[in-house]
Structure 1
Amino acid sequence: MTKKFFSYALLALALALGFSANAQDRWSKERINDWYAKQPWMAGANYVPASAINQLEMWQEASFDPERIDRELGWAEDLGFNTMRVFLHHMLWEQDQKGFIKRINKYLKIADKHGIRTMFVLLDDVWHPYPNLGKQPAPLKGVHNSGWVQSPGRNILERPDRWDELEGYVKGILKHYANDKRVVFWDLYNEPGNTNGNSYGGGGKKIELPNKRKYSLGLLKKVYKWAREVNPSQPLSIDVWTSVGKKIEQMSAIDRFAYENSDVINFHCYSSAATTEKTIKELSKSGRPLVCTEYMARPHGDGTFQNVMPVLKKYNVVAYNWGFVAGKSQTNYPWSSWQKPFENEPKLWFHDIFRENGEPYKQAEVDFIKRTTGKQTL
């Protein structure tokens, strides 16, 4: 067998398996750990300004609010936060690529001014499956995250023949910021396969795609391939989100794919300090740095900053809590508010740190965060 024939055979096999000839492998353990060793301990929040109910309202030209973003990221800087996780949306790219990039650039300039690097999230399977551009709905009274939307949503997810429509968006964003030092990580797909069964008054499954996880895994594999073909200078990751406290061998197929293909292991853990530590120890078997992209639901196993944040710092895990300012997203209300909306603000907030005017929900909590990040000493 000639070398030329052997090369053609390998190319044909790669194409048959769905991999491009120029796709890159994930970073080696040596490379990612060397990169991570050069970073400071990172802490921040999942960020949407108080004026936006979802990703679309945050980024669309008519509602983009750089003045508020500047003010709120100033509060983040004051806490000692040095990174934020921020969601994008494919419809914004389709609507106005140049304008979208212009607004992302404006956001990154503001964040950089405050010493904050960003983890961008490209796709999301959580909350409403039918996103629409234009004016977004008002929040439902007393309901947690009542207007967040999925990307791409059911109309594309249930049509594998339409998945390639997303390639331009995924590659376009990645290529544009592939060497931008203000971008620290990429999160390719938030909670792929989430069926949102507790949302929409308990009726999430009635409007969700049946057998959603099968479709999400198929799309996820395509998105991952496209991202590796771009090969940005920042680490790539996918959420491990259904395996809190579980052994690696007990992972779902989606979590297993995320675990086996991410440069850094990106996970969610809305639970107690003990469960968080247990999850960290299990995922550390990967030999890779860990990034906790969602934590801190105060009533869940007493999952407060005071209990969980020190565990993340102890193990040098990047810490992104959910929620920053209690605005139109209303994530200070609990998930259960979908079943029974609140008439008044809950006494114990679920997420979030500040009110819209910058007043802390709990001053003692803010002081604790500052001490943990090193922004404030005793």
Structure 2
Amino acid sequence: MGFADRLNLNAIRTWLSYEAWKRDPASFGRALDHFLATADKHGIRVLLGVFEGVGRPPVPKNLYDTDPWTGTSVWSPGKHVMRNPDQWDEPKRFAEWVTNRYRDDERLLAIEVMNEPGWRPWKKRFARAMFDYVRERRGDVPLTIGATSFANATDYYDWGIDVIQFHYNYPNTTDIYRGVLQQANELRNSINMPVWLTEWQRIADFGWGQKEVSVAQRGPDYASLAPVIRKSGVGNFFWSLMLKPAYMLSQRKRGILNGVFHEDGAVWSTEDASALKSMSGNGTFHGTERKEWPDWAKEVIRRA
């Protein structure tokens, strides 16, 4: 949170683990309360996600895999649960646990009931059921769904969401991005509802199908998009604060690295850090720059 504070961030987006809650709800609650208290001390509000629609099955091998080459996100809950309504009672208990504790918590910016249900009907059915369940028990904290794209975002409008989200991580040009942001502002004005860009990264000056991606292209480059987003005025969350392998396994296998800060507080790029800091005021970032892959990432780069 101290690193986030150094970038003048006033909000941070993360989500929970249904599997970790099932193992030990009491410890899970203490950890989450500590997280929210720490964020609050830094003047940072939290966009808190409940379920996750991206990744791999939440089997033990995937849940505990910390290898930067193979470890990645997991569905939460698993596919077999999401596809079968007769197994939704336990996820509903988790959703109720979150809602009862935090529905009126001013430290939360919003509750994201699920990240990226996407286009698969069985995921959307599960997400809709969980959203309706939370909505029936809601308090003052706004409710939302994480959408894979601007086109996908409007699918959730008639669910009764309070905030529209969309993700656009790797555009090919700033002109394309400028057009999407203009659409976001037009939608916000037409429906009188907040529209947030909750995942963005950099201009992709490479093709996802090309075999070779240079080391420079694999690293972060937030400065390539930050000025366009700032000028648009769209509320936004970049991906991600800490340097780590790409969230998506397909990108991770190609050696894509995301983030701003090394664990010791140095930044990958002072240009990036300054561009991010400028989103909310003074854009001059003073700190140590080190464009060096962390030790845990070097093997990923070598294999890619």
Tell me the TM-score range normalised by the shorter chain.
0.7 to 0.9
Cα distance in structure 1, aligned partners of 2:265 and 2:101: 33
Q: Residue 220 and residue 310 in structure 1: after superposition, are their counterparts in 2 closer, same or farther (change >3 A)?
A: same
Equivalent of 1:164 in 83, 89, 95? 89
**Distance in 2 between residues matched to 1:113 and 1:265, nearest whole Å:** 27
Deviation of the 1:334 alpha carbon? 8.6
Q: Is 2:9 the partner of 1:89?
A: no
* Code of the aligned partner of 1:323: S
Letter in 1 for 2:155: F
For residue 272 of structure 2, what is the aligned residue in structure 1?
365
Aligned residue for 2:74, secondary structure, equals coil
Which letter maps to 1:101? Answer: G
1:332-358 deviations in whole A, cap 9, x for unaligned? 9994443x5x5xxxxxx6421112221
Deviation at 1:140, TM superposition (A): 4.1
Using structure 1 for the length normalisation, give the TM-score.
Answer: 0.64
Q: Return closer, same or farther for 1:135/1:259 CA change in 2, 3 Å cut-off.
A: closer
- Map of 1:1-378 to 2, 5 A cutoff? 73-132=1-60, 136-141=64-69, 146-193=71-118, 213-243=120-150, 251=151, 255-260=153-158, 261-270=160-169, 271=171, 272-283=173-184, 284-285=186-187, 286-299=191-204, 304-327=221-244, 330-331=245-246, 335-338=250-253, 340=254, 342=255, 350-376=257-283
Q: In 2, distance between residues paired with 1:358 and 1:96?
A: 32
CA deviation vs aligned residue, 1:123-173 (integer Å, no higher than 9, x gap): 1111112343997123143x6xx3321101113112221123211111210
Deviates more, 1:315-324 or 1:173-182: 315-324
Q: 1:263 offset after TM fit, Å?
A: 1.0
SS of alignment partner, residue 321 of structure 1? coil
Count of matched residue positions in the alignment of Structure 1 and Structure 2: 266
| Stretch of structure 1 that moved more, 308-317 or 73-82 | 308-317
| Greater relative contact order, per chain length (Cα 8 Å cut-off, separation 6+) | 1
| Cα displacement (A) at 1:305 | 2.6
- Unaligned residue ranges in structure 2 (runs of 5+): 207-216, 286-304
SS in 1 for 2:237: strand
Q: Considering only aligned residues, what root-mean-square deviation do their CA atoms show, in Å? A: 2.8
TM-score by length of 2: 0.78
CA deviation string 1:85-122 (max 9, x = no partner) = 01101122222222211111111111111111111111
Equivalent position amino acid for 2:89 in 1: D
Residue deviations 1:179-214, cap 9 Å, x none? 1111111111111147xxxxxxxxxxxxxxxxxx11
User: What is the alpha-carbon distance in structure 1 between the residues aligned to residue 228 and residue 46 of structure 2?
Assistant: 22
Distance 1:374 1:137 in 2: 39
Judged with a 3 Å threshold, the aligned counterparts in structure 2 of structure 1 residues 139 and 297 are, in CA distance, closer, same or farther, namely: farther
Query: Residue type of the partner of 1:155?
Result: H
Partner residue in 2 for 1:34: none
In 1, Cα distance between equivalents of 2:87 and 2:68? 32
Once residues 53 and 248 of structure 2 are traced to their aligned partners in structure 1, the CA distance between those partners, rounded to angstroms, is: 21
Unpaired stretches in structure 1, ≥5 consecutive residues = 1-72, 195-212, 244-250, 343-348
Q: Which structure has the larger Rg?
A: 1
Which shifted more, 217-226 or 91-100? 91-100
The AA in structure 2 aligned to 1:311 is V
- Secondary structure at 2:178's aligned position in 1? helix
% identical aligned pairs? 23
Say if 1:297 and 1:351, in contact at 8 Å, map to a contact too.
no
| Alignment partners' CA distance in 2, 1:110 and 1:158 | 37
For the Cα contact (< 8 Å) 2:81–2:87, is it kept in 1? yes
Q: Tell me, yes or no, if the aligned pair for 2:222 and 2:276 is still in contact at 8 Å.
A: yes
- Contact (CA 8 Å) 1:333, 1:351: kept in 2 or not? no
Contact preservation (8 Å) 2:21, 2:28: yes
Counterpart Cα distance in 2 of 1:304 and 1:273: 13
Residues 91, 277 of structure 1: alpha-carbon distance in 2 compared, 3 angstrom cutoff: same
Specify whether residues 314 and 228 from structure 1 end up closer, same or farther in structure 2 by C-alpha distance, changes over 3 A only.
same
